[in-house]
Amino acid sequence: MDSCLFIHGFTGGVFEISPLSQYMEKNNYRSTTFTLKGHGGTKTDLLNSSRHDWLKSAEEQLTKLLKENEGVHLIGFSTGALIASRLSVQYKARVKSLTLLSAPVFPLNPVEIIKTLGSFSMLKNYANKFGSTPPKATKEFQRMVRESFEIYPQIETPTLIVQGKRDHLVKTKSAAYLKDTIMAPRKEVLLVDKSGHMVCHCEDSDRIMNEVLQFIESVGYNP
């Protein structure tokens, strides 16, 4: 049975990708989720972790799966997409596909931020996040974003790029940049009109999940 390794985003958690992980499980793929080092705990935990720690914790999960001689498909959301990109290069001989969800190539979309802040719930969410995220951790995220520009041209794994047109944290042009820069012989882009950053929780999530499944199946499925 092929495996899907899911990697969540910066300051986020498994909930960000749980609908898709459950969907893949129902369609005969083994889904593996985990919490990145420094996440899911206290502000101090995040403060004491670095981008290298985040990457290492994801790599440990990947190597566990690879030891079982399964086909592994990497699915990364937001910052998890940056981590998945790097791992797909490091383990390109073993990773079967790469799915990038809301990859923050060019973070922050000011126009969409203004729109979403019109919602009290979104405003509260931003206030909580900004208040609980140490500046040091934010700088680590920004370094990972910059360093990833060296990774994209090295990606040779079949890649699906999913981007919401209403994403309030990532500029839509990120998807086009990835398509132009990634050197994989096969790469596809799915732009979702009615989705913000949380593509697995948007109103078009069913279509997105089906597209991800079809892409992974087309790469090759090992029962």
SS (H, E, C) 128-160: HHHHHCCHHHHHHHHHHHHHHHHCHHHCCCCEE
- Look at residue 47 in the predicted model and tell me its pLDDT: 86
Per-chain mean pLDDT for the chain: 89
The pair phi, psi for residue 97, each rounded to 5°, is -155, 165
pLDDT one-digit tens code per residue, 35-69: 999 898 778 888 889 999 999 999 999 999 999 86
CA distances from 2 to 77, 152, 155, 222 (A): 20, 25, 21, 6
131: amino acid identity, one letter: G
- The pTM for the full model equals 0.91
Query: For 149-159, b where at least 16 C-beta lie within 10 A, e where not — what string?
Result: eebbebbbbbb
pLDDT digits (tens, 9 = 90+) for 155-198: 999 999 999 999 988 999 999 999 999 999 999 999 999 899 99
Q: How far apart are CA 167 and CA 162, in angstroms?
A: 11
The amino acid that residue 164 corresponds to is G
